[in-house]
Amino acid sequence: MEATTSSVTDFSDAPIPLGLERFLGLVIRALSTTLEDTVGEREASGFINLVGIAIAEEIHADYLRAAGAERLGRQAVSNALIDLKRRLGGDFYVIEDSGDRIVLGNRRCPFGDLAKTCPSLCTITSHVFGHMVAESQGYGRVTLADTIARGSPTCRIVIDLDPDAPGEGGQSYFGTGAA
């Protein structure tokens, strides 16, 4: 079969669904799946953990600058987590916010369908949330109880602020400064 050659030279109005967001999503998916295929999902998650920590430090610094403070107060932490995910396209909301626990829900994954093919990306959420909470409150244990990436219709993120609280598993984060 002979290949046809197009005479089209201007694609500016072509219905190609490509913009910066989709392009970056393709890059992230390719990197994540390449890592998972090469070293396995567990090891890929370790690499993504390092990326998540670096991202968390940058984002936390942004919120501290915006607050004009050295650490975020208890209510500011919850507000910052919700605001962060809203800015990224998520639809996070507070389910519970007590003295020793924050439980957030989410109706729309900021990573969109990408999360379904790269569930290890959820560890970025864990690291960003855990780092921000721990740096401002001294400690945070983040449990990704339900995630859209793992097939749930919504996410439920449990953040325990007390290291002795009974937990549902999760990842512990410790602040580097005094809380």
For 141-171, the pLDDT digits (tens) are: 999 999 998 899 999 999 999 999 887 689 9
What tokens appear for 173 in the block? 């984060």
What tokens appear for 47 in the block? 């690499």
Is residue 9 one of the residues assigned to a domain? no
Angle in degrees, 0-180, between the axes of helices 122-137 and 74-87, rounded to the nearest 10: 150
For 21-55, the pLDDT digits (tens) are: 778 778 887 888 888 899 987 888 778 778 888 88
Judged on CB neighbours under 10 Å (0-12, 13-18, 19+), 55 is: middle
Is residue 8 one of the residues assigned to a domain? no
What is the pTM assigned to this prediction?
A: 0.82
Range with lowest mean pLDDT among 13-22, 99-108, 122-131, 154-163: 13-22
Is residue 10 one of the residues assigned to a domain? no
Distance CA 86, CA 84 (A): 5
Is residue 42 one of the residues assigned to a domain? yes
Q: Which pLDDT score is estimated for 48?
A: 79
Domain that holds residue 139: 20-174
Is residue 5 one of the residues assigned to a domain? no
Q: Which pLDDT score is estimated for 168?
A: 67
Work out the number of other CB atoms within 10 angstroms of the CB of residue 20: 7
Q: Which pLDDT score is estimated for 179?
A: 47
For 47-100, the pLDDT digits (tens) are: 877 888 888 899 999 999 999 999 999 999 999 999 999 999 899 999 999 889
